Structure 1
Amino acid sequence: MAGLTWGKFMVGSVVVAAIAAGVGVWYTQERAFYAPVAVEDAKVEITSITSGKPEVILTENLTAIDSESSPIRYRACFTTPTSLALLTETYEVFDRAVPLVAPDTFDCFNAAAIGEALESEEAIAFMGEKHIEYGIDRIVAVYPDGRGFVWNQVNSCGKSAFSGNPLPLGCPLPPEKN
Structure 2
Amino acid sequence: MTGKTAAASIVIAAFLTGISVWYLQLYYYYDTIDPEQVEIRLTPSDGGAPRPLEISEFEGIDATSSPLRMRGCFRVRESLETLRREYTVMPDPTPLVGPGWFECYDANTVGDDLESGAAVAFLGEKAIADGVDRVIAIYPDGRGYVWHQLNDKYQD
Give the CA deviation at 1:12: 4.0
Cα distance in structure 2, aligned partners of 1:15 and 1:124: 48
Residue 108 of structure 1 aligns to a residue in which SS? coil
- Check if 1:102 corresponds to 2:102: no
| Structure exhibiting the larger radius of gyration computed from Cα positions | 1
Which residue number in structure 1 is paired with residue 142 of structure 2? 146
1:155 to 119, 142, 151: 151
Cα distance in structure 1, aligned partners of 2:95 and 2:85: 23
Give the CA deviation at 1:159: 3.3
2:79 to 65, 79, 83: 83
CA RMSD of aligned residues (A): 1.8
TM-score normalised over the length of structure 2: 0.90
Cα distance in structure 2, aligned partners of 1:119 and 1:21: 39
2:27 to 25, 28, 31: 31
Which residue number in structure 1 is paired with residue 67 of structure 2? 71
Deviations 1:87-122 (A, max 9, x none): 101111012110111112211111111111111111
Cα distance in structure 2, aligned partners of 1:146 and 1:119: 18
Deviations 1:17-56 (A, max 9, x none): 3322221111111111111112221121111123522111
Residue 150 of structure 1 aligns to a residue in which SS? strand
Amino acid at match of 2:134: R
Cα distance in structure 1, aligned partners of 2:91 and 2:104: 23
1:41 to 37, 44, 51: 37
Paired residues, number: 156
Give the CA deviation at 1:81: 1.7
Higher RCO (C-alpha under 8 Å, 6+ residues apart): 2
Asked if structure 2 preserves the Cα contact closer than 8 Å seen for 1:134 and 1:158, the reply is no
Cα distance in structure 2, aligned partners of 1:142 and 1:77: 10
- Structure 1 residue runs of 5 or longer lacking an equivalent are 161-178
Asked if structure 2 preserves the Cα contact closer than 8 Å seen for 1:97 and 1:125, the reply is yes
Which residue number in structure 2 is paired with residue 112 of structure 1? 108
Residue 69 of structure 2 aligns to a residue in which SS? coil
Cα distance in structure 2, aligned partners of 1:122 and 1:13: 53
Structure with more of its chain in strand, by fraction: 2
Residue 103 of structure 1 aligns to a residue in which SS? coil
